[in-house]
Amino acid sequence: MATPAAIVDVWVRAGASAEPAEWSGMAHFLEHMVFKGTQRLQPGEFDWAIESQGGMTNAATSHDYAHFYISVAADALPQTLPYLADLLLGAAIPADEFERERLVVLEEIRQAYDDPDWVGYQAMCEQLYGQHAYGRPVLGTPDVLKARSPEEMRRFHQAHYQPENMTVAIAGGISQDRALELIQQSFSQFPEPLACPPSLIATLAPPTSQRQTIHLPHLEQSRLTMSWIGPGVDQLATASGLDVLSVLLGGGRTARLVRELREERQLVQAVDSSFALQRECSVLSLSMWLESDQIAAVEEIVCDRLTELAEQPIAPSELARAQRLLLNDYAFSTETPGQIAGLYGYYATIAQPELATAYPEHVKATAPEQLQQIARQYLSADRYSAIVLEPQQR
């Protein structure tokens, strides 16, 4: 009989959006430094404590959050959860480890610039968000990171790793009462709050049409990415409708743009649509892999199809297909304890945990008339970001 597992996912409202502009990259750098020990834990001791129980751990940072994850046997949780809590609340940020880990982060940034996907994504963010924090790279920049100090990081940590900014999500083979008891026991000694410079305050500017062409070495085929800003999590019903439109346009072989651009006209090799929901906005992106001489024609066709979306109601059968795909994806993404802990932790961090179960209801409720209005408001053929990646000419 298999031993039941328990997943702990701790989410902190201390992502890149919380950084002062002059400390860009601090949240991600801190994610690394959290694992470098506390007054009670030496570097590497936390990893040994988890792995010796057959568990695993990981972490990630985005603009809206940082989160830290462990998976262990449920009966090992009383021994391992205090280690995770001590690591997060009591990070020592030793100066010698800080200098060593800074080199690791600088190398991570260097490697990112060798990744065409990252380069294109960051260029898109800078165009879409302008001076807003979402436009800055989560990794930071070498010049800024080289100027940071351990004391500044301790200030950032003690300012933000506080109970009002933290969600502890536990799922798996443990009762609710026992989980709450372990959380209360482990997450009790928070650091003394310290002040740090305020984060960048900037509103999202109204969308405008912008484009950029970037020539990259080692790129075999051109890519065109067109992106639109949508509403944030505070307008979840509308954002869910935009997600439906993303599937209708590029989700699967029978989606509109896939069928026309790839299957029928053979203008592109592939079409991919994506939708990302954040605290302050959402983003719908359409990416096409194609030859350089087809870029203008493909971009014009996409704009024409968006105009049609705003003018013509969607057929009930086409809408039902898009809804079914999204609902199936949601069901598949809530099958494991880790997925459930992540889902509730994410929504608790950017809004309220109750919204984790509201999303599928909003998807079911979308109607053709509502989607026309969303297309008119957000998917304008005159206001979008276009990023073109081209192979560097030899």
Instruction: Determine the Cα–Cα distance for residues 172 and 72; give it in Å rounded to an integer.
Output: 10
- Quick one: tokens of 89? 């609340």
pLDDT at 204: 82
Judge whether 254 and 247 are in contact, CB under 8 Å. Answer: no
Question: How many other CB atoms are found less than 10 A from the CB of residue 167?
Answer: 20
Distance of CA 341 to the CA centre of its chain: 16
| Phi, psi (deg, nearest 5) at residue 216 | -125, 140
At residue 235, the 3 state secondary structure works out as helix
Question: How many other CB atoms are found less than 10 A from the CB of residue 368?
Answer: 14
Distance of CA 298 to the CA centre of its chain: 28
Instruction: Determine the Cα–Cα distance for residues 17 and 165; give it in Å rounded to an integer.
Output: 13
Q: How far is CA 338 from CA 86, 201, 348, in A?
A: 21, 34, 15
Q: Which one-letter amino acid corresponds to residue 364? A: K
Instruction: Determine the Cα–Cα distance for residues 166 and 348; give it in Å rounded to an integer.
Output: 9
pLDDT at 1: 47
pTM: predicted TM-score of the whole model, two decimal places: 0.94
Domains, in order of start, for the chain: 5-186 (3.30.830.10), 210-391 (3.30.830.10)
pLDDT tens digit sequence for 75-112? 999 999 999 999 999 999 999 999 999 999 999 999 99
| Residue ranges in the chain modelled with pLDDT below 70 | 1-3, 394
Judge whether 214 and 120 are in contact, CB under 8 Å. Answer: yes
